[in-house]
Amino acid sequence: MPRLKWYVPFYNVTLSLTPFQLSGDVERFLNIMHLPLCTLIHVDKYTCKQDYKNILKHINIKTNSMAQKIITFANHKGGVSKTTSTASIGACMAMKGKKVLLIDLDGQANLTLYFIPNEDEIKTSIFDSLVNGVPLPVKHIRENLDLVPSSLEMASAEIALTNLLARERLLSNLLEPLRKDYDYILIDCPPSLGIVTTNAFIAADEIIVPMTPELLPLKGMRMLDAFVTTLQRVKPSLRLGGVFIARFNHRKLNKVVEQAVKERYESITMNTRIRENIALAESAGSGKSIFEYDSNSNGAKDYLALTEEILSRNQ
Ligand SMILES: Nc1ncnc2c1ncn2[C@@H]1O[C@H](COP(=O)(O)OP(=O)(O)OP(=O)(O)O)[C@@H](O)[C@H]1O
Ligand SMILES: [Mg+2]
């Protein structure tokens, strides 16, 4: 079997690999490091781009074949716009041509109802997959946009998952075969820090925290920080990747809290804030995304800006 040399720029190393190895360990390594295969540069003098293409054909790997990112939207405080943000950012990414999968982990099923207002259409939910191990029920809801629905049963998931083996990795394992089909997978969490949210944190490449500009949620962030620290024992690379202010209005307290968030989460505070906007509240019950409901609203404008900020960070 011929060996070819490949340079990995991010790690400044040269690997000498057979096509077989390239399709096995190294692909896995690159996946874990979130590097597409095309980051490998072929350095053998006597081979050319055509050989690279032949090898890819031979081992049947498509470049960029994995989800660029799994993003979890989380905050144990209720009503801070986790669901509104997951729905709006997902819809916006899909409009921009990204293939997006939304995952609803909350027993309130608000994200599901956002896009599928008729509950009777939901025969199986994420609960069946987490508890019984059946493949995730993926529903196609818009062009480029799919959804794994939740159901009321998820309210009992904390207890149902208690005795399962490797229970904190169930979602991560279920998403693995789907990763290659999407550019982004966005996960909406329940307002708690239990085993369900743990699953979302372990599965995620990035955790983004929406916050309302009030003092109590800011104080509550200490709990979230402690939760992340605990989970770092299982997943050392785990970090909060972004914090943004949602439901901003021009009351004095909002500015004070926004400043405090910037000071505390300096490097990860997003530039975009989402203003309080009635169209966002109205669209939630309408079965339409904010862009379909009122594309001229401040809600649509703010979520467009936030989505672009998230996408630009991943380019
Ligand atoms: N920017 C906004 N302006 C006005 N209303 C908003 C805005 N963002 C969210 N809302 C409304 O606030 C309520 C709570 O939002 P949402 O359901 O997104 O929060 P959540 O964090 O997912 O809540 P929970 O913790 O209960 O799951 C909803 O009625 C939603 O329509
Ligand atoms: Mg919610």
Contact residues of ligand 1, CB 6 A cut-off: 78-84, 106, 108, 110, 191, 246-247, 274, 276-277, 280-281, 284, 299
Q: Do 243 and 261 form a contact (C-beta atoms < 8 A)?
A: yes
Give the side-chain half-sphere CA count within 13 A for 127: 19
Residue whose CA lies nearest to ligand 1 atom number 9: 81
Beta strands at 13-17 and 4-8: parallel, antiparallel or unpaired: antiparallel
Query: How many CB atoms neighbour CB 214 within 10 A?
Result: 15
Q: Do 283 and 294 form a contact (C-beta atoms < 8 A)?
A: yes
Q: Do 139 and 146 form a contact (C-beta atoms < 8 A)?
A: yes
Tokens of 10: 């991010």
Q: Ligand nearest 217 Cα, by number?
A: 1
Q: Which amino acid is at 212?
A: T
Q: Do 310 and 89 form a contact (C-beta atoms < 8 A)?
A: yes
Tokens of 285: 């019950």
Tens-of-pLDDT digits for all 315 residues of the chain?
Answer: 566 666 655 455 566 666 555 555 555 655 555 555 545 555 554 344 444 444 444 433 333 344 579 999 999 999 999 999 999 999 999 999 999 999 999 999 999 999 998 888 899 999 999 999 999 999 999 999 999 999 999 999 999 999 898 899 999 999 999 999 999 999 999 999 999 999 999 999 999 999 999 888 888 888 999 999 999 998 988 989 999 999 999 888 888 999 999 999 988 999 999 999 999 999 988 889 999 999 999 999 999 999 999 999 877
Residue whose CB lies within 8 A of the most ligand 1 atoms, among 72, 73, 81, for a mutation test: 81
Give the right CATH number for 69-313 from 3.40.640.10, 3.40.140.10, 3.30.70.100, 3.40.50.300.
3.40.50.300
Please state, in angstroms and rounded to a whole number, the distance separating the CA atoms of residues 310 and 242: 9
Q: For the chain, which residues make up each domain, given as ranges?
A: 4-59, 69-313
Q: Do 19 and 59 form a contact (C-beta atoms < 8 A)?
A: yes
